[in-house]
Structure 1
Amino acid sequence: MKQVAIVILNYNGQKHLEQFLPSVRQFSEGCELWVADNASTDSSMEWLAAQPGLNLLTIPENKGYAGGYNYALSRIEAEFYVLLNSDVEVTPHWIEPVISYMQANSNVAACQPKIKSFATPTHFEYAGAAGGFMDYLGYPYCRGRIFDTCEKDSGQYDHTMDVFWATGACLFVRAKDFHAVGGFDELFFAHMEEIDLCWRLINRGHRISCCGQSEVFHVGGGTLHKSNPRKTFLNYRNNLVMLYKNLPAKQLFPVLLARLLLDGVSSVRFIMAGAWPDVWAIVRAHFAFYGLIPKLSRMRKELPIQAELYQKSVVWQYFIKGKKRFSQLP
């Protein structure tokens, strides 16, 4: 069994593979490199087949991020998986610090490097920055990124520390822990499934970390641009699904009521911007969530360990009090 398997899930990403796969191959010596194709309709597979030294896996239908990785990882043997987006440029020695840290800390189930912007390399990138957290209302944020404000990397997050969630853009995860909790929830399809996975891992006594000695550069929006209404739908629906699955019972309904009101406020912001498809996406997301409640009720598990959430509103801190940096949060 190979120790480290780097697995890139591809969907119509030939352009990104041509640009970024060479850096992965150059700086990942000793690792097994896989590309799992999620039923692409471009010429990705023909291009990949011509590349030497790759392990290729074909997924018969587009199962999204969650289902695609579950399918691929069930067929790949390794001690550690590295789930890597196709639009990520890696750097020299990006693997060793993370794997060494996880080997020295057996209760760390998942870890990420620093995620910086490919377009603006001096700054953190939206999808993960230097490790993720979440407030008690279910709003994710990061060291180095709160909502749309991404900080400049001045070495302020070079230390390794535990976080609440690690990004799916470059996710190191211990294989036995991934499979022990059933992998990703395929109900999510894409977006926030990695936060749900990390939450479930923490609730089972594991740790999630960010290793500040490793960094990669992420383009972001390679499959769905952030302004795509499909992405809006998935983010809003999946956030509610995640809360319903994982919050303790005494917190669940007050939080869902608050989110109903806050998502309404968010809709007003889209209305003012004239983004009517996004408004409709939020409405559809809520009704899709309500329809899933019977199924989600059967999935809920009250565990003795509960992950700690930030007990203030990051929305209030950011929009009302003007706290734009992680270090400013009380």
Structure 2
Amino acid sequence: MVTTKSGNCENMKLAVILVNYNGKKYNTACIESILANVGMEELKIVVVDNASQDASMRLLEEQYAKDGRLEFIRLDDNYGFSRANNEGISRAKAWGADAVVLLNNDTEIASDMLSRLWECAGRHPGCMIAPKIYCGDDRKRIWSAGGSVSPIIKKVRHIGLDEADEGQYDRETEIRFATGCCLWIPMSVIDEAGTLDERFFLYYEDTEYSFRLCKLGIPIYYCPKAVMYHKVGASTKGADSPLCAYYIARNWLLCNRLHLGGRYPLFLAYYALNRTVCCLLWFVQGKKELVRATLRGVGDYRKGRFGRAERY
């Protein structure tokens, strides 16, 4: 498997995995941007549907019925982001893919993003890679230029979030956290580290996977020449929703319990203060449903209830 001087990726099989849940509004733009990518000779797009109710899968199957580059997997229920991606990874492995790209369907990618990621993979073999991600509604404003992790309680943040791009994040560099909005993962990494943890259902599965790779000594790189655009919050109704409040409250606890070791009690003190402040603000603002969702998330964590929550 080599990359030619012209940027073509010869003898390399790449599978892009899209998880769909009522994504009719976004799917076509995302898929067309993938198909427009240059230099990818063997490309497969695997669309995994979490039992959508908006006819989005029927429309895609009709629209791309004659395009052999697309495959569709219909799940019989909404099993969440992790399970759906894992189903796609399994299909990609059966096809013989050398690498997968996990990509949110509420995105559009630049016409050379996949080849740029592949070039970066050639410089850093056996690594997970993240692109530069701009906000979909302002294509000069950064949403993520990789991610960092605080040293004690392992709190993650997006580097460059909401900053205007003035070239300050144009250096290819190793990072500690990569958002699940777009991840390049070689099959060799999946063989060693495994797939996404399905207990998370939604949120923090990317954080946990990043932490897992770091524990195994598998580097993560940020590739600024690979560019894409994200319609932030389109698939989950935004950060200010009960769904988001619930899964963040529950999954943040689970993720850090798995990876903090002896520092976990210190994290719990920070977590209690952080969530208490959020709940007080929401209560004052009249957003009591967010308070209830947070308390349910904490309660379900303590009871060991993971995966999909019935209320959300």
Length-normalised TM-score, structure 2: 0.86
User: What's the counterpart of residue 115 of structure 1?
Assistant: 133
Tell me by how many angstroms 1:106 deviates: 2.2
User: Are residues 1:64 and 2:80 paired?
Assistant: yes
Cα distance, 1:134 vs. partner?
A: 2.2
* Aligned equivalent of 1:16, options 26, 35, 58: 26
How far off its partner does 1:2 sit? 5.5
Give secondary structure in 1 for the equivalent of 2:217.
Answer: coil
Q: Note if contact 1:7-1:36 (Cα within 8 Å) is conserved in structure 2.
A: yes
Q: CA deviation at 1:111?
A: 0.9
Secondary structure of the structure 2 residue equivalent to 1:122: strand
The one-letter code sitting in structure 2 at the alignment partner of 1:37 is D
Per mean C-alpha deviation after superposition, the further-off stretch among 162-171 and 1-10 is: 1-10
1:12-55 Cα shifts (integer Å, max 9, x gaps): 11110123321211125422222111221221221111213122
Q: Which residue of 2 aligns with 1:246?
A: 259
Query: 1:2 touches 1:32 (CA, 8 Å); kept in 2?
Result: no
Q: Return structure 1 stretches of 4+ with deviation > 4 angstroms.
A: none
Distance across 2 between alignment mates of 1:112 and 1:43: 31
AA aligned to 1:284 is R
What residue is the counterpart of 2:15 in the other structure?
5
CA distance in 2, matches of 1:202, 1:272: 40
Is 1:95 aligned to 2:114, yes or no?
A: yes
Secondary structure of the equivalent of 1:220? coil
Q: What is the distance in 2 between the residues matched to 1:139 and 1:274?
A: 28
Query: Do the aligned partners of 1:59 and 1:71 also contact (CA within 8 Å) in 2?
Result: no
Deviation at 1:156, TM superposition (A): 0.7
Match of 1:256 in 2: 268
Partner SS for 1:172: strand
Normalising by structure 1, we get a TM-score of 0.82
RMSD over aligned CA atoms reads 1.8
For 1:79, the equivalent position in structure 2 comes to: 98
Q: Which residue of 1 aligns with 2:149?
A: 134
The aligned counterpart of 2:243 is: 230
Which consecutive residues of structure 2, in runs of 5 or more, have no partner in the other structure?
1-10, 307-312
Residue 60 of structure 1 deviates from its aligned partner by 2.5
Partner residue in 2 for 1:212: 224
Q: Which residue pairs with 1:186 in the alignment?
A: 198
Q: Partner letter of residue 163 of structure 2?
A: E
- Residue identity over aligned pairs, in percent, reads 25
1:277 corresponds to 2:292 = no
Whether the 8 Å contact between 2:153 and 2:260 is mirrored in structure 1 is no
Q: 1:134 & 1:266 partners in 2: Cα distance?
A: 21
Give the letter aligned to residue 135 of structure 2. Answer: S
Q: 3-state DSSP class of the match of 2:27?
A: helix
Q: Structure 2: which amino acid aligns with 1:11?
A: Y
Alignment correspondent of 2:7? none
Please state if 1:292 is matched with 2:304: yes
Q: Which secondary structure does the structure 1 equivalent of 2:16 belong to?
A: strand
Task: Assess if the C-alpha contact under 8 Å between 1:5 and 1:33 holds in 2.
Answer: yes
8 Å contact from structure 2 (residues 126, 189) kept in 1: no
Query: Partner of 2:168 in structure 1?
Result: 156
How many residue pairs end up in the alignment? 285
- How far apart are 1:221 and its partner, in Å? 1.4
Q: Which protein has the bigger strand share?
A: 2
CA distance in 2, matches of 1:255, 1:237: 14
Counterpart Cα distance in 1 of 2:192 and 2:134? 31
In structure 2, relative to structure 1, the CA distance for the partners of 1:139 and 1:270 (3 Å cut) is farther
In structure 2, what is the Cα distance between the partners aligned to 1:281 and 1:138?
Answer: 24
Q: Using the TM superposition, give the Cα deviation of residue 97 of structure 1 relative to its aligned residue in structure 2, in angstroms.
A: 1.9
State the alpha-carbon separation in 1 of the partners of residues 222 and 185 from structure 2. Answer: 12
Check 1:270–1:189 CA distance in 2 against 1; reply closer, same or farther (3 A cut): same
Where 1:188 maps in the other structure, the secondary structure is: coil
